[in-house]
Amino acid sequence: MKILITLISLAAFNASALEYEKDIMPIFVKKCGECHSNESGKAKGGLKLDDPAHFHGRFAKNSLVVPGDWDASYLFITLYRPEGHEDAMPPEGKGERLSSEEVKLVQQWITDGAPVNGERGEKGKMPPETESADEMKPAPNPVEQEWTNTDGKTILATLLRVEGDVALLRLKNGTVYKYPITKLSEASRAKLDTKAE
């Protein structure tokens, strides 16, 4: 586990390291191939993940992959959504989900401009707040609730944990904010006391 995380950080460090065919496709072939490949002869939703040219051609449809923008990429959303959600892939009970390390690799690949079939799109940014694969994991009892800051702005997010004077709040799209507790409204701060151990 430790070794895998180190390897991934190295790959993330070397921005040109990730290539679809080399780094991402093998994961998809293993975990999605049954329903999305030339090999199985099944292309559910019209999507084949083991065919780089076809896959690249599908990027624009339903914003499947928006190079540089993992947050806008439907493919990433299917991986990130909790098991059982209608958008989650694979469908509930129909296969093994990607590990959080694998999800992070896909996120990094999209951020690198989603290089595939010899072409690369625009580069983007990884969420700066997400520093480790651990933070991508859902909390043991994820409860999405409203959080209000001292300016009266409200967001919907899940509390992952409290670290010193920041609350780690995860938005639906996967972004994790390290939110200074002093900037939360009194009512929101009270929620931290009951939720954090």
Q: How far is CA 120 from the centre of its chain?
A: 20
Q: Which residues pair with 168 in a beta bridge?
A: 161, 178
Nearest to ligand HEC of 29, 171 (CB atom): 29
Which residues, 6+ apart, have CB-to-CB distance to 54 below 8 Å? 48
Q: Is-contact 105 24, C-beta < 8 A?
A: yes
Stretch that binds ligand HEC, among 26-34, 139-147, 162-170, 180-188 (CB under 6 A): 26-34
Least distance (Å) from ligand HEC to the CB of residue 30? 9
Decide: is 61 part of the binding site for ligand HEC (CB under 6 A): yes
Nearest to ligand HEC of 110, 157 (CB atom): 110
Which residues, 6+ apart, have CB-to-CB distance to 144 below 8 Å? 156, 157, 158, 172
Decide: is 64 part of the binding site for ligand HEC (CB under 6 A): yes
Beta-sheet strand order (sheet of 166-171): 144-148, 154-163, 166-171, 176-180
Q: Is-contact 102 112, C-beta < 8 A?
A: no
Interface mask toward ligand HEC for 95-134; x: CB under 6 A: x--x------------------------------------
Among 25, 32, 159, 169, binds ligand HEC (CB under 6 A): 32
Residue the block writes with tokens 């996967």? 174
Stretch that binds ligand HEC, among 9-17, 61-69, 121-129, 138-146 (CB under 6 A): 61-69
List residues near ligand HEC by CB under 6 A.
28, 31-32, 34-36, 44-45, 47, 61-62, 64, 74-75, 78-79, 89-91, 94-95, 98
